[in-house]
Amino acid sequence: MPWPSRSTDSLRALLCSANPHKLAEMRQLLPALELELLAADYPPEDGATYLDNARIKARFGRRVGPPDVWMLADDSGIEVAALGGAPGVATARWAQGRHVERLLETLEGETDRSARYVCELVGLAPKGDEARGTGILAGSIAEEAAGDEGFGFDPVFVPTGESRTVAELGDAWKALHSHRALAARALRSALARFSTGSTTS
């Protein structure tokens, strides 16, 4: 089953996640896909890298999900200079649902507020062929939250070259410039070989 080669093509795929916000964002970023969530009890994301964790989810989805659809999984996090690059791959566990509050509390009094978002995105074809894309968005952490779009750290993350947070810049901006947008763009390039039928299922 080749990846769709034209904007009029569509392909069923499952996002290996329980996060509806992520699903909405991925639908914007990968409009060629008929994308739904794969409801499952996922194994622990205990990999050493974002790619490890994305593969854990995608390969689990490949094992338990329908055999004739693509599996898509990502892992992402924030790396903060003042925290030595933490929380990184432990972002979700570190934030404990208090993304903005925890980060602002931790950085209180810090002068170096530089940070970056990182995303690794993995696609697995029905036969298991893998493609991947990486996206990195550099920026800094604001002193206080602002904006009401996006999720996670978006209300305090100011991208390099911008004066507003991602939550203020909004979902239309994210669809072009976010770390997931950049990873999705890289993934689409990596999947070009599938559109030619050079890898089939």
Residue 118: in which H helix or E strand, if any? strand 114-124
Q: What is the DSSP letter of 161?
A: T
CA pair distance 143, 121, nearest whole angstrom:
30
Per the structure block, which two tokens stand in for 81?
């200079």
Q: Which residue do the tokens 């990968």 mark?
A: 30
Strand order in the sheet with 33-37: 33-37, 11-15, 70-80, 114-124, 130-141, 157-159
Find the catalytic residue in 9, 41, 68, 75.
75
DSSP assignment of 119-136, as one string?
EEEEEE-TT--EEEEEEE
Cα–Cα nearest to 194, from 128, 121, 98? 128
75 is catalytic: yes
Q: What are the catalytic residues?
A: 75
